[in-house]
C-alpha cells in the first residue's frame, strides 16, 4: 500500500467502456485532465471540459476542435446527458458536488482527489496493436503504472507469433 491511504473493500469491476460518440464531461482543466484526455479521445468520446482555465495541452485540443470547452466553473446540471464523468478540479468541495450530481444521475464518475468517494477509477493503460492492457491496484497509481510498463515490456520480448494481434 502506498501513501494514498485505505483503498476499496472490494476490487473494482473492470469494464471496457465503448465511448465513441458518447458525451463525457470532465470538470477541471489541469494536469490530471491533460493526462487523461488522450485516451478518452482515442476512444472517440465526445468530451466537454468545464474549467475557467486550461492546461496548454488541453487548449491545443480545444483549438483543434477535438474537445468542447465551457470556460467557467462547474455548475449543477453540467453532467446532463453524459455517460461518464470526471471530477478533476483542485477544489474538494467542487469535486464533491460533481460526484453528487453524477450519483443522482447514475453516471459513473471518477473523483481525482478522493478516489473512494467516486464510482470509477482510471487504470494505467497501454496499447499493443488492437490489445489494451489496463492495470488497477488498490489506490497505488505508481504501482499500477509500473506494472503496466512491465507488462508492455514483457509483450515486446515475446516472439512475434505469440504477440497479441500478430499470432
Ligand X SMILES: C[C@@]1(CC(=O)O)c2cc3[nH]c(cc4nc(cc5[nH]c(cc(n2)[C@H]1CCC(=O)O)[C@@](C)(CC(=O)O)[C@@H]5CCC(=O)O)C(CC(=O)O)=C4CCC(=O)O)c(CCC(=O)O)c3CC(=O)O
Ligand Y SMILES: NC(=O)C1=CN([C@@H]2O[C@H](COP(=O)(O)OP(=O)(O)OC[C@H]3O[C@@H](n4cnc5c(N)ncnc54)[C@H](O)[C@@H]3O)[C@@H](O)[C@H]2O)C=CC1
- The answer to the question of residue 127 lying near ligand X (CB under 6 A) is no
3-state class (DSSP) for residue 56? helix
User: To the nearest whole angstrom, how small is the minimum distance from the Cβ of residue 70 to ligand Y?
Assistant: 9
- The answer to the question of residue 137 lying near ligand X (CB under 6 A) is yes
Other CB atoms within 10 A of residue 109 CB:
25
- The answer to the question of residue 110 lying near ligand X (CB under 6 A) is yes
- The answer to the question of residue 136 lying near ligand X (CB under 6 A) is yes
User: To the nearest whole angstrom, how small is the minimum distance from the Cβ of residue 119 to ligand Y?
Assistant: 14
- The answer to the question of residue 4 lying near ligand X (CB under 6 A) is yes
For ligand Y, the closer of residues 66 and 90 by Cβ is 90
The one of ligand Y, ligand X, none whose footprint includes residue 50, by CB under 5 to 8 A per kind, is: ligand Y
Please state, in angstroms and as integers, the Cα–Cα distance from residue 70 to each residue in 12, 47, 60, 166, following that order.
Answer: 31, 11, 15, 43
Q: How many CA atoms lie within 13 A of 31 on its CB side?
A: 2
For ligand Y, the closer of residues 33 and 48 by Cβ is 33
The one of ligand X, ligand Y, none whose footprint includes residue 99, by CB under 5 to 8 A per kind, is: none
Residues that bind ligand Y (CB under 6 A): 27-33, 50-53, 73-74, 88-91, 94, 112-113, 141
- The answer to the question of residue 141 lying near ligand X (CB under 6 A) is yes
Give the helix/strand (H/E) hosting 31. Answer: helix 31-42
The one of ligand X, ligand Y, none whose footprint includes residue 74, by CB under 5 to 8 A per kind, is: ligand Y
Give the helix/strand (H/E) hosting 128. Answer: strand 124-128
Here the contacts of 108-111 (C-beta below 8 Å, separation 24 or greater) are 108/84, 109/79, 109/84, 109/85, 110/85, 110/86, 111/87
Dihedral sign from CA coordinates of 150, 156, 162, 164: positive
Residues forming contacts to ligand X in the complex (CB under 6 A) are 4, 35-36, 110, 112-115, 121-122, 124, 136-142, 144-145
Amino acid at each position: 500500500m502506498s501513501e494514498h491511504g485505505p483503498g476499496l473493500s472490494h476490487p473494482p469491476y473492470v469494464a471496457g467502456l465503448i465511448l465513441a460518440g458518447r458525451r463525457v464531461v470532465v470538470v477541471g482543466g489541469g494536469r490530471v485532465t491533460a493526462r487523461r484526455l488522450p485516451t478518452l479521445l482515442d476512444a472517440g468520446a465526445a468530451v466537454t471540459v468545464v474549467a475557467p482555465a486550461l492546461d496548454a495541452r488541453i487548449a491545443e485540443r480545444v483549438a483543434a476542435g477535438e474537445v468542447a470547452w465551457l470556460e467557467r466553473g462547474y455548475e449543477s446540471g453540467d453532467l446532463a446527458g453524459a455517460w461518464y464523468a470526471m471530477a478533476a478540479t483542485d477544489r474538494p468541495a467542487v469535486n464533491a458536488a460533481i460526484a453528487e450530481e453524477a450519483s443522482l444521475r447514475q453516471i459513473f464518475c471518477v473523483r481525482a482527489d478522493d478516489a473512494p468517494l467516486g464510482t470509477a477509477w482510471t487504470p494505467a493503460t497501454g496499447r499493443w496493436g488492437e490489445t489494451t492492457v489496463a492495470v488497477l491496484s488498490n489506490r497505488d497509481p505508481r504501482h499500477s503504472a509500473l506494472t503496466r510498463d512491465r507488462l508492455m515490456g514483457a509483450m515486446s520480448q515475446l516472439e512475434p507469433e505469440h504477440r497479441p494481434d500478430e499470432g
